[in-house]
Structure 1
Protein backbone atom coordinates (compact mmCIF):
# COMPACT_ATOMS: atom_id res chain seq x y z
CA UNK A 1 0.00 0.00 0.00
CA UNK A 2 1.36 3.44 -0.95
CA UNK A 3 1.90 5.44 2.26
CA UNK A 4 4.22 8.14 3.53
CA UNK A 5 5.65 7.35 6.98
CA UNK A 6 6.35 10.16 9.44
CA UNK A 7 6.62 10.70 13.19
CA UNK A 8 4.44 13.04 15.20
CA UNK A 9 4.55 13.37 19.00
CA UNK A 10 6.62 10.16 19.18
CA UNK A 11 3.94 8.23 17.28
CA UNK A 12 4.94 6.44 14.07
CA UNK A 13 2.21 7.30 11.56
CA UNK A 14 1.39 6.66 7.91
CA UNK A 15 -0.25 9.24 5.65
CA UNK A 16 -2.44 7.59 3.02
CA UNK A 17 -3.04 8.97 -0.50
CA UNK A 18 -6.76 9.27 0.26
CA UNK A 19 -6.20 11.70 3.13
CA UNK A 20 -6.67 9.08 5.84
CA UNK A 21 -4.08 8.61 8.59
CA UNK A 22 -2.99 5.17 9.80
CA UNK A 23 -1.41 4.55 13.19
CA UNK A 24 -0.01 1.00 12.93
CA UNK A 25 0.84 0.39 16.60
CA UNK A 26 -2.81 0.33 17.82
CA UNK A 27 -4.14 -0.48 14.32
CA UNK A 28 -6.05 2.81 14.14
CA UNK A 29 -7.39 4.51 10.98
CA UNK A 30 -8.19 8.21 11.39
CA UNK A 31 -10.28 10.30 8.99
CA UNK A 32 -11.62 13.85 9.17
CA UNK A 33 -14.61 15.68 7.74
CA UNK A 34 -16.48 13.00 5.78
CA UNK A 35 -19.38 15.46 5.36
CA UNK A 36 -21.75 12.65 4.38
CA UNK A 37 -24.99 14.06 2.99
CA UNK A 38 -23.47 17.26 1.61
CA UNK A 39 -25.23 16.92 -1.76
CA UNK A 40 -28.57 16.51 0.07
CA UNK A 41 -27.98 19.69 2.10
CA UNK A 42 -27.03 21.71 -0.96
CA UNK A 43 -30.12 20.45 -2.78
CA UNK A 44 -32.31 21.45 0.19
CA UNK A 45 -30.92 24.97 0.06
CA UNK A 46 -31.42 25.25 -3.70
CA UNK A 47 -27.69 25.64 -4.37
CA UNK A 48 -25.64 24.45 -7.33
CA UNK A 49 -26.30 20.77 -7.98
CA UNK A 50 -23.64 18.34 -6.77
CA UNK A 51 -23.37 14.72 -7.91
CA UNK A 52 -25.70 12.74 -5.60
CA UNK A 53 -23.13 10.00 -4.99
CA UNK A 54 -20.74 11.85 -2.69
CA UNK A 55 -21.53 9.60 0.29
CA UNK A 56 -21.02 6.43 -1.74
CA UNK A 57 -17.66 7.67 -3.08
CA UNK A 58 -16.50 8.65 0.39
CA UNK A 59 -17.63 5.43 2.04
CA UNK A 60 -16.16 3.27 -0.73
CA UNK A 61 -12.74 4.89 -0.26
CA UNK A 62 -13.03 4.42 3.49
CA UNK A 63 -13.91 0.76 3.00
CA UNK A 64 -10.86 0.32 0.76
CA UNK A 65 -8.57 1.98 3.32
CA UNK A 66 -10.02 -0.12 6.12
CA UNK A 67 -9.40 -3.32 4.16
CA UNK A 68 -5.90 -2.31 3.05
CA UNK A 69 -4.72 -1.37 6.55
CA UNK A 70 -6.59 -4.04 8.50
CA UNK A 71 -7.41 -1.36 11.08
CA UNK A 72 -9.08 -2.49 14.29
CA UNK A 73 -10.19 1.01 15.23
CA UNK A 74 -11.58 3.95 13.24
CA UNK A 75 -11.64 7.49 14.61
CA UNK A 76 -13.77 10.03 12.70
CA UNK A 77 -12.66 13.52 13.66
CA UNK A 78 -16.00 15.31 13.45
CA UNK A 79 -18.22 16.70 10.71
CA UNK A 80 -18.77 13.11 9.65
CA UNK A 81 -22.22 14.24 8.52
CA UNK A 82 -22.91 17.54 6.84
CA UNK A 83 -25.94 18.49 8.93
CA UNK A 84 -27.70 17.40 12.09
CA UNK A 85 -29.92 14.61 10.71
CA UNK A 86 -27.96 13.75 7.57
CA UNK A 87 -27.71 10.11 8.61
CA UNK A 88 -31.49 9.85 8.13
CA UNK A 89 -31.36 10.85 4.45
CA UNK A 90 -28.55 8.60 3.25
CA UNK A 91 -29.58 5.84 0.84
CA UNK A 92 -30.10 2.45 2.45
CA UNK A 93 -27.20 0.99 0.47
CA UNK A 94 -24.82 3.59 1.91
CA UNK A 95 -25.99 2.94 5.47
CA UNK A 96 -25.58 -0.79 4.91
CA UNK A 97 -22.00 -0.28 3.69
CA UNK A 98 -21.23 1.80 6.78
CA UNK A 99 -22.78 -0.84 9.06
CA UNK A 100 -20.67 -3.55 7.45
CA UNK A 101 -17.49 -1.54 7.96
CA UNK A 102 -18.29 -1.09 11.65
CA UNK A 103 -18.60 -4.83 12.30
CA UNK A 104 -15.81 -5.94 14.65
CA UNK A 105 -14.22 -2.47 14.62
CA UNK A 106 -13.92 -0.04 17.54
CA UNK A 107 -15.60 2.93 15.84
CA UNK A 108 -15.32 6.38 17.44
CA UNK A 109 -17.31 9.43 16.32
CA UNK A 110 -15.80 12.74 17.48
CA UNK A 111 -18.37 15.55 17.54
CA UNK A 112 -17.92 18.32 14.98
CA UNK A 113 -19.44 21.73 14.43
CA UNK A 114 -21.77 20.42 11.70
CA UNK A 115 -22.87 17.34 13.63
CA UNK A 116 -22.86 16.35 17.30
CA UNK A 117 -22.39 12.72 16.27
CA UNK A 118 -24.70 10.30 14.42
CA UNK A 119 -26.49 8.91 17.47
CA UNK A 120 -28.64 6.55 15.37
CA UNK A 121 -25.57 4.64 14.20
CA UNK A 122 -23.22 2.27 15.99
CA UNK A 123 -19.98 3.27 17.63
CA UNK A 124 -19.03 5.42 20.60
CA UNK A 125 -19.48 9.20 20.70
CA UNK A 126 -16.91 11.59 22.17
CA UNK A 127 -16.28 15.32 22.35
CA UNK A 128 -12.60 14.39 22.10
CA UNK A 129 -10.41 11.36 22.77
CA UNK A 130 -7.00 10.99 24.44
CA UNK A 131 -5.23 7.79 23.44
CA UNK A 132 -1.63 6.60 23.37
CA UNK A 133 -0.20 10.04 23.98
CA UNK A 134 -2.28 11.73 21.26
CA UNK A 135 -5.41 13.87 21.63
CA UNK A 136 -8.08 13.62 18.93
CA UNK A 137 -10.57 16.47 18.50
CA UNK A 138 -12.40 18.25 15.70
CA UNK A 139 -10.93 21.77 15.85
CA UNK A 140 -7.32 22.64 16.67
CA UNK A 141 -6.77 24.59 19.88
CA UNK A 142 -4.26 27.43 20.43
CA UNK A 143 -2.44 25.64 23.28
CA UNK A 144 -2.39 22.23 21.60
CA UNK A 145 0.07 19.46 22.39
CA UNK A 146 0.16 16.14 20.49
CA UNK A 147 -3.19 17.11 18.95
CA UNK A 148 -4.77 15.49 15.87
CA UNK A 149 -7.72 17.35 14.35
CA UNK A 150 -9.64 18.21 11.19
CA UNK A 151 -12.14 21.02 10.47
CA UNK A 152 -9.95 23.29 8.30
CA UNK A 153 -9.62 21.03 5.22
CA UNK A 154 -6.01 22.18 4.53
CA UNK A 155 -4.77 22.36 0.95
CA UNK A 156 -1.84 23.83 -0.98
CA UNK A 157 -1.21 25.55 -4.32
CA UNK A 158 1.17 23.81 -6.70
CA UNK A 159 2.42 24.33 -10.23
CA UNK A 160 1.63 21.24 -12.29
CA UNK A 161 2.31 21.05 -16.03
CA UNK A 162 2.18 24.81 -16.36
CA UNK A 163 -1.00 25.45 -14.38
CA UNK A 164 -1.85 26.21 -10.78
CA UNK A 165 -3.37 23.26 -8.96
CA UNK A 166 -4.93 22.86 -5.48
CA UNK A 167 -4.00 19.68 -3.61
CA UNK A 168 -5.44 18.58 -0.21
CA UNK A 169 -2.73 17.97 2.38
CA UNK A 170 -1.85 17.01 5.92
CA UNK A 171 -0.52 20.00 7.86
CA UNK A 172 1.64 19.54 10.97
CA UNK A 173 4.27 20.98 13.25
CA UNK A 174 5.66 19.80 16.59
CA UNK A 175 2.36 20.40 18.44
CA UNK A 176 -0.55 19.73 16.11
CA UNK A 177 -1.49 17.64 13.08
CA UNK A 178 -4.45 18.72 10.93
CA UNK A 179 -5.91 16.19 8.49
CA UNK A 180 -7.33 17.02 5.05
CA UNK A 181 -11.04 16.58 4.46
CA UNK A 182 -11.78 12.97 3.52
CA UNK A 183 -15.22 13.59 2.03
CA UNK A 184 -15.88 14.08 -1.66
CA UNK A 185 -16.60 17.66 -2.84
CA UNK A 186 -15.51 19.24 0.44
CA UNK A 187 -13.26 22.08 -0.72
CA UNK A 188 -10.56 23.41 1.57
CA UNK A 189 -8.54 26.25 3.10
CA UNK A 190 -5.05 27.11 1.84
CA UNK A 191 -2.33 26.60 4.43
CA UNK A 192 -1.24 30.26 4.17
CA UNK A 193 -4.72 31.50 5.14
CA UNK A 194 -4.66 33.48 8.42
CA UNK A 195 -6.74 30.89 10.29
CA UNK A 196 -4.11 28.21 9.63
CA UNK A 197 -0.97 30.32 9.48
CA UNK A 198 -1.81 31.70 12.92
CA UNK A 199 -1.97 28.19 14.40
CA UNK A 200 1.19 26.69 12.94
CA UNK A 201 4.85 27.25 13.78
CA UNK A 202 7.36 28.51 11.17
CA UNK A 203 8.65 24.92 10.92
CA UNK A 204 5.27 23.54 9.79
CA UNK A 205 5.23 20.94 7.03
CA UNK A 206 2.67 19.45 4.65
CA UNK A 207 2.18 15.99 3.17
CA UNK A 208 0.45 16.05 -0.18
CA UNK A 209 -2.35 13.56 -0.81
CA UNK A 210 -2.91 11.73 -4.09
CA UNK A 211 -0.80 9.29 -6.06
CA UNK A 212 2.34 11.46 -5.91
CA UNK A 213 2.67 11.97 -2.16
CA UNK A 214 5.39 14.30 -0.93
CA UNK A 215 6.49 15.98 2.29
CA UNK A 216 7.37 19.67 2.02
CA UNK A 217 8.05 22.55 4.44
CA UNK A 218 5.35 25.20 4.29
CA UNK A 219 7.87 28.02 3.88
CA UNK A 220 8.91 26.55 0.52
CA UNK A 221 5.38 26.69 -0.89
CA UNK A 222 5.56 29.92 -2.89
CA UNK A 223 2.20 31.58 -3.66
CA UNK A 224 1.05 30.91 -7.23
CA UNK A 225 -1.02 33.11 -9.51
CA UNK A 226 -3.58 31.80 -11.98
CA UNK A 227 -6.71 29.69 -12.08
CA UNK A 228 -6.74 26.90 -9.51
CA UNK A 229 -8.07 23.44 -10.25
CA UNK A 230 -8.43 20.45 -7.95
CA UNK A 231 -5.36 18.18 -8.06
CA UNK A 232 -5.61 14.42 -8.47
Structure 2
Protein backbone atom coordinates (compact mmCIF):
# COMPACT_ATOMS: atom_id res chain seq x y z
CA UNK A 1 0.00 0.00 0.00
CA UNK A 2 1.69 3.20 -1.22
CA UNK A 3 0.20 6.17 0.62
CA UNK A 4 0.76 9.90 0.08
CA UNK A 5 2.16 11.50 3.26
CA UNK A 6 1.50 15.19 3.92
CA UNK A 7 1.15 17.72 6.73
CA UNK A 8 -1.91 19.79 7.65
CA UNK A 9 -1.73 22.33 10.49
CA UNK A 10 1.28 20.46 11.84
CA UNK A 11 -0.43 17.06 11.84
CA UNK A 12 1.34 14.27 9.93
CA UNK A 13 -1.27 12.53 7.77
CA UNK A 14 -1.38 9.96 4.97
CA UNK A 15 -3.83 9.70 2.07
CA UNK A 16 -4.32 5.97 1.49
CA UNK A 17 -4.91 4.47 -1.98
CA UNK A 18 -8.32 3.23 -0.78
CA UNK A 19 -9.62 6.75 -0.11
CA UNK A 20 -9.19 6.57 3.67
CA UNK A 21 -7.14 9.10 5.63
CA UNK A 22 -4.68 7.89 8.28
CA UNK A 23 -3.40 9.96 11.23
CA UNK A 24 -0.74 7.68 12.73
CA UNK A 25 0.01 9.81 15.81
CA UNK A 26 -3.65 9.46 16.86
CA UNK A 27 -4.04 5.83 15.65
CA UNK A 28 -6.97 7.25 13.68
CA UNK A 29 -8.58 6.20 10.39
CA UNK A 30 -11.02 8.56 8.64
CA UNK A 31 -13.47 7.60 5.89
CA UNK A 32 -16.22 9.62 4.27
CA UNK A 33 -19.45 9.02 2.37
CA UNK A 34 -19.78 5.27 2.70
CA UNK A 35 -23.36 5.50 1.38
CA UNK A 36 -24.06 1.97 2.54
CA UNK A 37 -27.35 0.62 1.20
CA UNK A 38 -27.37 2.70 -1.97
CA UNK A 39 -28.55 -0.22 -4.11
CA UNK A 40 -31.41 -0.86 -1.66
CA UNK A 41 -32.43 2.80 -1.71
CA UNK A 42 -32.43 3.05 -5.49
CA UNK A 43 -34.53 -0.10 -5.80
CA UNK A 44 -36.96 1.19 -3.15
CA UNK A 45 -37.39 4.75 -4.43
CA UNK A 46 -36.48 4.65 -8.11
CA UNK A 47 -37.12 1.06 -9.16
CA UNK A 48 -33.52 0.87 -10.40
CA UNK A 49 -31.75 -2.42 -9.80
CA UNK A 50 -28.03 -2.43 -9.03
CA UNK A 51 -26.01 -5.47 -7.96
CA UNK A 52 -26.51 -5.49 -4.17
CA UNK A 53 -22.85 -5.94 -3.33
CA UNK A 54 -21.71 -2.43 -2.50
CA UNK A 55 -22.06 -2.83 1.27
CA UNK A 56 -19.97 -6.00 1.18
CA UNK A 57 -17.31 -4.38 -0.99
CA UNK A 58 -17.13 -1.20 1.09
CA UNK A 59 -16.90 -3.05 4.41
CA UNK A 60 -14.28 -5.43 2.99
CA UNK A 61 -12.04 -2.49 2.08
CA UNK A 62 -12.66 -0.81 5.43
CA UNK A 63 -11.73 -3.99 7.27
CA UNK A 64 -8.53 -4.25 5.22
CA UNK A 65 -7.57 -0.63 6.03
CA UNK A 66 -8.18 -1.20 9.73
CA UNK A 67 -5.97 -4.29 9.69
CA UNK A 68 -3.23 -2.51 7.73
CA UNK A 69 -3.15 0.61 9.93
CA UNK A 70 -4.09 -0.99 13.27
CA UNK A 71 -6.18 2.13 13.92
CA UNK A 72 -7.86 2.25 17.32
CA UNK A 73 -10.17 5.16 16.40
CA UNK A 74 -12.44 5.62 13.38
CA UNK A 75 -14.27 8.72 12.16
CA UNK A 76 -16.97 8.32 9.51
CA UNK A 77 -17.43 11.79 8.02
CA UNK A 78 -21.14 11.65 7.27
CA UNK A 79 -23.48 10.09 4.71
CA UNK A 80 -22.56 6.70 6.08
CA UNK A 81 -25.86 5.39 4.74
CA UNK A 82 -27.71 6.49 1.64
CA UNK A 83 -30.68 7.39 3.85
CA UNK A 84 -32.10 6.41 7.24
CA UNK A 85 -34.24 3.63 5.78
CA UNK A 86 -31.15 2.11 4.15
CA UNK A 87 -29.57 1.95 7.60
CA UNK A 88 -32.60 0.04 8.85
CA UNK A 89 -32.35 -2.37 5.92
CA UNK A 90 -28.70 -3.18 6.56
CA UNK A 91 -29.35 -6.79 7.49
CA UNK A 92 -28.18 -8.89 10.41
CA UNK A 93 -24.91 -10.06 8.85
CA UNK A 94 -23.73 -6.57 7.90
CA UNK A 95 -24.84 -5.14 11.23
CA UNK A 96 -22.78 -7.76 13.04
CA UNK A 97 -19.85 -7.07 10.71
CA UNK A 98 -19.87 -3.35 11.57
CA UNK A 99 -20.15 -4.09 15.28
CA UNK A 100 -17.19 -6.45 14.98
CA UNK A 101 -15.15 -3.68 13.34
CA UNK A 102 -16.18 -1.32 16.13
CA UNK A 103 -15.13 -3.68 18.91
CA UNK A 104 -12.24 -2.24 20.92
CA UNK A 105 -12.20 1.00 18.92
CA UNK A 106 -13.47 4.52 19.43
CA UNK A 107 -15.98 5.00 16.60
CA UNK A 108 -17.49 8.37 15.68
CA UNK A 109 -20.34 8.89 13.24
CA UNK A 110 -20.40 12.48 11.93
CA UNK A 111 -23.81 13.69 10.80
CA UNK A 112 -24.23 14.00 7.02
CA UNK A 113 -26.87 15.48 4.77
CA UNK A 114 -28.20 12.04 3.74
CA UNK A 115 -28.58 10.61 7.23
CA UNK A 116 -28.04 11.62 10.86
CA UNK A 117 -25.87 8.57 11.46
CA UNK A 118 -26.96 4.97 12.10
CA UNK A 119 -28.48 5.43 15.53
CA UNK A 120 -29.01 1.71 16.19
CA UNK A 121 -25.31 0.95 15.82
CA UNK A 122 -22.64 1.57 18.41
CA UNK A 123 -20.35 4.57 18.49
CA UNK A 124 -20.65 8.27 19.19
CA UNK A 125 -22.83 10.60 17.10
CA UNK A 126 -21.62 14.18 16.56
CA UNK A 127 -22.25 17.11 14.23
CA UNK A 128 -18.48 17.66 14.05
CA UNK A 129 -15.40 16.71 16.03
CA UNK A 130 -12.38 18.85 16.94
CA UNK A 131 -9.14 16.99 17.63
CA UNK A 132 -6.62 19.85 17.73
CA UNK A 133 -5.12 21.01 15.51
CA UNK A 134 -7.77 19.51 13.18
CA UNK A 135 -11.56 19.64 12.92
CA UNK A 136 -13.64 16.90 11.31
CA UNK A 137 -17.00 17.72 9.70
CA UNK A 138 -19.11 16.58 6.76
CA UNK A 139 -19.20 19.73 4.60
CA UNK A 140 -16.29 22.14 4.21
CA UNK A 141 -16.71 25.71 5.43
CA UNK A 142 -15.20 28.72 3.71
CA UNK A 143 -12.28 30.30 5.56
CA UNK A 144 -11.81 27.24 7.77
CA UNK A 145 -8.32 26.00 8.62
CA UNK A 146 -7.12 22.56 9.67
CA UNK A 147 -10.36 21.10 8.34
CA UNK A 148 -11.07 17.50 7.26
CA UNK A 149 -14.35 17.01 5.38
CA UNK A 150 -16.10 14.97 2.70
CA UNK A 151 -19.52 15.44 1.04
CA UNK A 152 -18.41 16.43 -2.47
CA UNK A 153 -17.06 13.05 -3.64
CA UNK A 154 -14.18 14.73 -5.52
CA UNK A 155 -12.57 13.00 -8.48
CA UNK A 156 -9.73 14.05 -10.76
CA UNK A 157 -8.34 13.08 -14.14
CA UNK A 158 -4.73 12.17 -14.85
CA UNK A 159 -3.62 12.50 -18.47
CA UNK A 160 -0.44 10.72 -19.54
CA UNK A 161 0.85 8.95 -22.65
CA UNK A 162 -2.28 9.75 -24.59
CA UNK A 163 -4.57 8.25 -21.97
CA UNK A 164 -6.94 9.75 -19.41
CA UNK A 165 -7.71 8.07 -16.09
CA UNK A 166 -10.37 9.50 -13.77
CA UNK A 167 -10.47 8.36 -10.16
CA UNK A 168 -11.84 9.46 -6.79
CA UNK A 169 -9.34 11.86 -5.26
CA UNK A 170 -8.35 13.70 -2.12
CA UNK A 171 -8.11 17.47 -2.52
CA UNK A 172 -5.41 18.93 -0.28
CA UNK A 173 -4.11 22.43 0.40
CA UNK A 174 -2.69 24.27 3.41
CA UNK A 175 -6.17 24.83 4.91
CA UNK A 176 -8.08 21.62 4.39
CA UNK A 177 -8.50 18.14 3.02
CA UNK A 178 -11.64 17.03 1.21
CA UNK A 179 -11.85 13.24 1.19
CA UNK A 180 -13.13 11.17 -1.73
CA UNK A 181 -16.21 9.06 -1.22
CA UNK A 182 -15.24 5.70 0.23
CA UNK A 183 -18.43 3.90 -0.77
CA UNK A 184 -18.51 1.66 -3.83
CA UNK A 185 -21.54 3.14 -5.64
CA UNK A 186 -20.95 6.82 -4.96
CA UNK A 187 -19.95 8.57 -8.19
CA UNK A 188 -18.11 11.87 -7.92
CA UNK A 189 -17.77 15.59 -8.65
CA UNK A 190 -14.91 16.68 -10.88
CA UNK A 191 -12.23 18.76 -9.24
CA UNK A 192 -12.81 21.41 -11.90
CA UNK A 193 -16.32 22.06 -10.57
CA UNK A 194 -16.86 25.62 -9.30
CA UNK A 195 -17.86 24.40 -5.82
CA UNK A 196 -14.49 22.72 -5.34
CA UNK A 197 -12.47 25.40 -7.09
CA UNK A 198 -13.87 28.02 -4.73
CA UNK A 199 -12.87 26.04 -1.64
CA UNK A 200 -9.32 25.07 -2.57
CA UNK A 201 -6.24 27.28 -2.82
CA UNK A 202 -4.47 27.67 -6.16
CA UNK A 203 -1.59 25.47 -5.01
CA UNK A 204 -3.92 22.58 -4.05
CA UNK A 205 -3.12 19.05 -5.14
CA UNK A 206 -5.33 16.12 -5.99
CA UNK A 207 -4.30 12.66 -4.77
CA UNK A 208 -5.87 9.99 -6.94
CA UNK A 209 -6.90 6.69 -5.37
CA UNK A 210 -6.22 3.29 -6.90
CA UNK A 211 -3.38 0.79 -6.56
CA UNK A 212 -1.24 3.59 -5.16
CA UNK A 213 -1.96 7.16 -4.11
CA UNK A 214 -0.89 9.45 -6.99
CA UNK A 215 -0.49 13.20 -6.37
CA UNK A 216 -0.99 15.73 -9.17
CA UNK A 217 -1.72 19.47 -9.27
CA UNK A 218 -5.44 19.97 -8.72
CA UNK A 219 -7.00 20.25 -12.20
CA UNK A 220 -8.17 23.77 -13.07
TM-score (norm 1): 0.91
**1:182-221 alignment, distance < 5 Å:** 182-218=182-218, 221=219
Report how far residue 161 of structure 1 moved: 6.2
Paired position in structure 1 for 2:129: 129
For residue 151 of structure 1, what is the aligned residue in structure 2?
Answer: 151
1:65 aligns with 2:65: yes
Matched ranges for 1:33-112 at <5 A: 33-112=33-112
| Alpha-carbon offset, residue 132 of structure 1 | 2.7
* Closer/same/farther in 2, CA of residues 210 and 98 from structure 1, 3 Å limit: same
CA deviation after TM superposition for structure 1 residue 160, in Å: 5.8
CA distance in structure 2 between the partners assigned to 1:152 and 1:2 by the alignment? 24
Query: How far did 1:40 drift?
Result: 0.5
Aligned to 1:228: none
Counterpart for residue 3 of structure 2: 3
Report the secondary structure of 2:59's partner residue: helix
Alignment partners' CA distance in 2, 1:132 and 1:30: 15
Give the secondary structure class of the aligned counterpart of 1:5.
Answer: strand
Helix, strand or coil at the partner of 2:196:
helix
* Residue in 1 that maps onto 2:172: 172
Q: Is the 8 Å Cα contact of residues 3 and 212 (structure 2) preserved in structure 1?
A: no
Q: Can you give the 5+ residue segments of structure 1 that lack an aligned partner in the other structure?
A: 223-232
Cα distance in 2 between the residues matched to 1:47 and 1:152: 25
Q: Secondary structure at the match of 2:26?
A: coil
Q: Which structure has the higher relative contact order (CA within 8 Å, separation 6+)?
A: 2
- Secondary structure, counterpart of 1:63 in structure 2: helix
The alpha-carbon distance between structure 1 residues 99 and 131, as it changes in their structure 2 partners (threshold 3 A), is same
Given that residues 2 and 212 in structure 2 are in contact (C-alpha distance below 8 angstroms), is that contact kept between their aligned partners in structure 1?
no
Following the alignment from structure 2 to structure 1, what is the Cα–Cα distance between the partners of residues 59 and 45? 24
Instruction: Give, in angstroms, the shift of residue 2 of structure 1.
Output: 2.6
| Structure 2 spans left out of the alignment, 5+ residues | none
**2:5–2:13 CA contact under 8 A, matched in 1:** yes
CA displacement at 1:46 relative to structure 2: 2.7
Other structure's SS at 2:35 match: coil
Specify the alignment match of 1:181 in structure 2: 181
Contact 2:111 2:125 in 1 (8 A): yes
Specify whether residues 190 and 129 from structure 1 end up closer, same or farther in structure 2 by C-alpha distance, changes over 3 A only: same
CA–CA separation in structure 1 for the residues paired with 2:108 and 2:62: 14
User: What RMSD over aligned residues (CA atoms) do the two structures have, in Å?
Assistant: 1.4
TM-score (ref. length: structure 2) = 0.96
